[in-house]
Amino acid sequence: MCGRTCLTLSPDDVCRACQYSGGSGGAKKKVQPTWRSEYNLGKTYNPSYNIAPTDVSPVLVSEAHFEEEGDSGKQVLVPMMWGIVPFWHKGEHNTHGLTTNNCRLENLMNSKLYKRSFMNGQRCVIVCEGFYEWKTTQKAKSSERDVFFIYRPQVDGVKIEDKSTWKPEEVDLLKMAGIYDVWTNESGDTLYSYTVITFQSNKTLSWMHDRMPAILDSQEKIADWLDYKRISPEDALKLLKPTDSITWHQVSRLVNNSRNKSEECNNPIKRETKSPIKSKMMQSWLQKSGKTKPTRDEEDAESPVEAKKPKLEVTDEEAGSSGPSE
């Protein structure tokens, strides 16, 4: 599942971070997507360390959706609300009563809510620095579960949680496949909204959660997913495979509350390890003196906890929630 994301870049910087290979011929150059913000009933994108459903964030779509002569291979960035409002909904945009922030891939082609948008080519790519996930395999209250920030591996020297270590054109943003819809109110104003596609987790994340978003881990996959004129719906579905090209670190439970937007949300925290013997020098002295022999637990305590991946059985958990508390 995916219930919270992080994107702290300004619109101009998001465009810089989303450069792609464009043009024709053998020598394709890097181009920036253009930014379109004339929709969404006055709702605007606000950079945030804790983006939740009903917030607005930028997504990539094909230019051909907005221009009659638009190039379906050209990409544009459009701020959209997270959580699809169906085109057929009557009344205010926030009264449909549906949970639409995630769309299960397994149900996509049978869904009255999503199939129409997908078959119409309304495919999008949600961009973010990373997303948050709660360890639902952990037997604890939802508010007490460990929380992790998941993101793309970065080049040496770049720390995703420390913006002073990178420039927008250097960071590798995480990009997730989604679907969008267009809703029009009684006054004729439009609202663009999206959902994130999810499927069963692979071994990389199944220890944490049994669902994961459909991450597009190459520029080629992103281009193919967006280019609805060149790539058929059937071929587009084949692009959606679990990826191993992600990493993570544990973060504070501050992110549990969607009103917490501070930079502390995605900062790594260290797990505390209590060891009866703090110093290897002291341990060596005690062994030589015959006073004690370290137990297996004490030996394990000398190894960094962060280097060990927990091995836990996955328990049943309902996917699609947006975090412990709002």
CA 322 to CA 53: how far, in whole Å?
7
Q: Using an 8 Å Cβ cutoff, are 44 and 37 in contact?
A: yes
Cα–Cα distance, 208 to 128 (Å, whole number): 20
Rounded Cα–Cα distance for residues 132 and 256 (Å): 10
- Residue pair 100/194 in contact (Cβ under 8 Å)? The answer is no
Q: Which residues form the catalytic set?
A: 2, 133
Residue 121, beta-bridge partner list: none
Rounded CA gap, 224 and 214, in Å? 14
Question: How buried is 274 (Cβ within 10 angstroms: 0-12 exposed, 13-18 middle, 19+ buried)?
Answer: exposed
Distance CA 194, CA 127 (A): 12
Angle at alpha carbon of residue 242, lines to 241 and 243, rounded to 5°: 110
- Unique residue bearing structure tokens 């597009």: 216
Backbone angles phi, psi at 249, to 5 degrees: -150, 155
According to DSSP, the β-strands at 211-213 and 102-104 are: unpaired
Residue 264 exposure: Cα atoms within 13 Å on the Cβ side: 10
Q: How far apart are CA 162 and CA 180, in angstroms?
A: 31
